[in-house]
Amino acid sequence: MRRSLSSQLVASILVNAVYEMKNYPINLVNTVLSPLSFLVVIDFVSRGALIGQAIEGGLIMSMFQSGMSLQGDISHLKNDFKLQDMLVSSPVSPAAYVVGMAASEIIYNLPALAILLVLGGIYIHPGALQALELAAALVLMFLTSITIGFMFATLSSDIVQSFAWSRLLTTVFTAITPVYYPITYIPFPFRYLAYLSPTTYVAEIMQNAAGFLKLSESVEIADWAVIVGLAAVLLVVVSRNARWKEK
């Protein structure tokens, strides 16, 4: 029998995004509100001065949250429903499953992303080159977070802990770190701590691209190098350590 790869990818999107949103629309409201709530607070506190940074922060949070959600969702399907066991003993490949699941997280976050992109168009109005730079940074952010998410998911057998980790990592990497505001707002000794988070580099790149922050060329290159390198290393680590068939 000839098997359709696109069907395999769409199956993950149907299960993890479309049917969940269709049968439980409240999840959709929650997903939209989560990144927008910070945006509203930052806009209110800064009296509109940081709206551009906050929109970029919302986009980063949305992408990072997508990757972290992948961790919780894969764990949920694997440990609570034993669905992954059913799929291991079937013709679907681990790569098709993970890519489909990752795509499902983007689809799930599409309404929030759409609102943020419209707001970005209004308040940031980037040129084509800037838009490309912003998109590339967000893709790298997503790639980094899904690799972290998938690694956690394959190693975890405790769904409650998985969801707790997912929420904790999202808060630490997107709400505390300088994602919704410029890094210059952080006093110097603590600024080094912010650089422990991959989201800081992505935020710097995006704020620089939109003109909210002036980075020297060397710092900008260093930021790109860190985020590209991290994504590459995590991809290698995940491909070596993530488990499909158990040993």
Sequence-separated (6 or more) residues with CB below 8 Å from residue 44 = none
Minimum CB distance to other proteins, residue 117 (Å): 27
Min dist. Cβ of residue 24 to other proteins (A): 6
Comparison of 76 and 191: residue with beta carbon closer to other proteins: 76
Binding mask 85-104 for other proteins (x = CB under 8 A): xxxxxxxx----x-------
The Cα–Cα gap between 164 and 181 comes to: 25
Q: Using CA atoms, how far apart are residues 12 and 98, in angstroms rounded to an integer?
A: 8
Chosen residue from 11, 36, 119, 205 binding other proteins by CB under 8 A: 11
Question: Which residue number, 89 or 218, has a Cβ lying nearer to other proteins?
Answer: 89
Nearby residues of 195 by Cβ (< 8 Å), 6 or more positions away: 201
Burial of residue 216 (CB within 10 Å: 0-12, 13-18, 19+) is exposed
x/- contact string, 23-42, with other proteins (CB under 8 A)? xx------------------
Rounded distance, CA 148 to CA 67, Å? 8
**What are the φ and ψ backbone dihedral angles of 65, each rounded to 5 degrees?**
-60, -35
C-alpha closest to that of 234 among 103, 45, 19, 67:
67
Round to whole Å and give the CA distance between 118 and 107: 17
Q: Is 218 in the site for other proteins (CB under 8 A)?
A: no
> Per rule CB under 8 A, is residue 247 in the interface with other proteins?
yes
CB of 82 to other proteins, least distance (A): 4
Question: Could you give the CA distance from residue 217 to residue 172 in angstroms, rounded to a whole number?
Answer: 28
Q: Which of 3, 125, 132, 176 binds other proteins (CB under 8 A)?
A: 3
In the complex, minimum distance from the CB of residue 177 to other proteins, in angstroms, rounded to a whole number = 32
Stretch that binds other proteins, among 33-41, 80-88, 202-210, 226-234 (CB under 8 A): 80-88
Chain positions contacting other proteins, by CB under 8 A: 1-5, 7-8, 10-12, 14-15, 19-20, 23-24, 77, 80-83, 85-92, 97, 245-247
